[in-house]
Structure 1
Amino acid sequence: MQDINSFKKLLEEPKRIVIVPHVNPDADALGSSLGMASVLKKKGHEVTVISPTDYPSFLHWMKGNDEVIVYNQGNEQKADKIIEETDIIFCLDFCSLNRTDKMEQPLRQAKATKVLIDHHHGKEDFADFEYWDNKSAATCELIYQLVVDMGERQLLDKHTAEALYAGIMTDTGSFRHPNTTKHVHEVVAALIGLGADVSKVSKLVYDNNSLNRLKFIGFALSERLEVLTEFNTAYFAISADDLSNFSSRTGDTEGLVNYALSIGGITMAAIIIERDDAVKLSFRSVGDFAVNELAAKHFEGGGHKNAAGGISRIGMKETVDKFLNLLPEYKKQLHTNQKKQEIYLT
């Protein structure tokens, strides 16, 4: 935060506050939003969390979930009015307003003070206050640190601690990714000290599948997984019909790309999904291969070095062909990176 004292002064008197996560919120986006909402409510503020879209049902356990307004579920006019009249807007787990889908213009036009709290690359200069660190593992990690920096750790309770833990757990890949630092473990230890039941949170997030989702994963692994050893790449191409055949719900494709990345010898994994409005892509990598650069250059996307996303508006087949045609350009990097990983693991 550029000036923590000015930020604290901004929150001294009760305000109307809106908190917004990115489109298709994950555990870090929703956990940071509901965690921050809880803290601000305890300070006497009127807080509304507005999500651009819905999110997986395995996140509905978080306290405050039942009060979230989902913008694209017929709540546009109501939400726009709240945004127009609010005093402060918190933008959490994204750093460019285009990550809020149809909420982008109402947010840009809002006269409210804007607060950015995030850890992604590609930051847009739109906020009045920023608490941004692209070396942090998760926005939930930043929320905890901000509350501590404000001297208000006493406002954190068990429910908030569990929401923040969920975001850190998922964004570190259950503490397996390179972004798992000493500070991450210190924050997690503090959250456990506040009462977070880590076993419960893990089960709610990872062991809360529908039968259709398990059948879909089985289908995807057996019928849609392609492995291109020449390019150290594996990918899934999931059509709209595939999703329909398994009555897919929001979140059912979550984590599927990691199965492809887990294959020995794979440097980059991707999942390409045909949605109603566009084709969505998600990329994962190991080592020094930067999928955020690939996503930004070719698919209007971005993210972290080893985890990024993008979008394509040219149709499913054309998108798959475009992705495949890019691989020769990256062949040397993909192969060199895999060799480095082999040395690292020996």
Structure 2
Amino acid sequence: MSSIPRDQWYVAAYGREIGQELFGRTVCGEPILFWRTRAGTVTAVSDRCVHRRFPLSEAPSRLVDDQVLCGYHGFTYGADGGCVAVPGQARVPRTARLRSYRVVERDSFVWVWIGDPDAADASRVPRAPWLDAPGWTTVSGMEPLRARFGLLVDNLLDLSHETYLHGGYIGTPEVAATPITTEVDEEAGVVYVSRRMDDAECPPFYAKSTGLSGRIMRWQDIEYTPPCLYKLHSRIAPPGVRPGADGSDPDAFHVEVVYAITPETEHTTHDFWAVARDFALGDQGVSDFLAEQNRTVVLQDVAALDVLERVIAAEPAGCQELSINIDTGGLAARRLLARLTGQGSGASRRRA
């Protein structure tokens, strides 16, 4: 059975990646063709001509107005996937139609529905509103991962690895040393993992972007909505500074780190990342620094997970894997993912 949940929304691209030209990306093993129509909406259809399976995203295929002309034999398709012209005959075969995919553009992401089109519900698209909201500045990117998406989920749900893999960037000793709390909202299907450090070293990632130095308060509150969206609500403040009783928190710095975890195939992943901040909003130097730093951190994860994928793929079944207290969030995520693929079950909000 596939480890990839099918009836789900997945991030296929950033909105900025898709214009009035052909753009191909594989999502959950399905090659999909995207473009933005003259009206400004994003359309998505199968990236294979029905005639001889030529990828429509490849030259010399091209977009003519809002129609795709296959560069191999000239089959022409409308934005809904229907074939409107074939070479050498006036009659278009009834079955000459590309699969059309439901698309939602929201929070700077282009989401595509993989699975039964009748089950697509736009209200189920998980939100990350900071990415294009007033009062926030965002940097973002995407890195290809030659590893199954579940390994990235494990990585992000256990941030203790920051101490060791990302030392000198985002990691400090306190991250690994501080216990976590884990809760699971079974009904909503969300995993929450919190680590509150009230006396921690300020890592370079935050020291150079906020101007803080020495000891800080650092809170990491994770919210993971399987299978695709991971949000890290990060709070950084001088020692002793806490939110007011009314919820206001003007003396702290807030960073929202968002990952969209999109399976490309069973063993490769699109690793979308974004960092939104509520400070130094117009400072391009801070933006450039955070973009470079976070991409470095992501590439460190990619290198480690690419190695881990090769190791796991070569191991015989039944090899031992040991889990400890810091793994409760990752184990809860695995259980919810198994439920989405029909391999597990589970109800209510509880501590893991």
Which TM-score band (shorter chain)? under 0.3
Max Rg structure: 2
Scaled by the length of structure 2, the TM-score of the pair is 0.24
Scaled by the length of structure 1, the TM-score of the pair is 0.25
**Could you say which structure has the greater relative contact order, defined with CA pairs below 8 angstroms and 6 or more residues apart?**
2
More helix per residue: 1 or 2?
A: 1
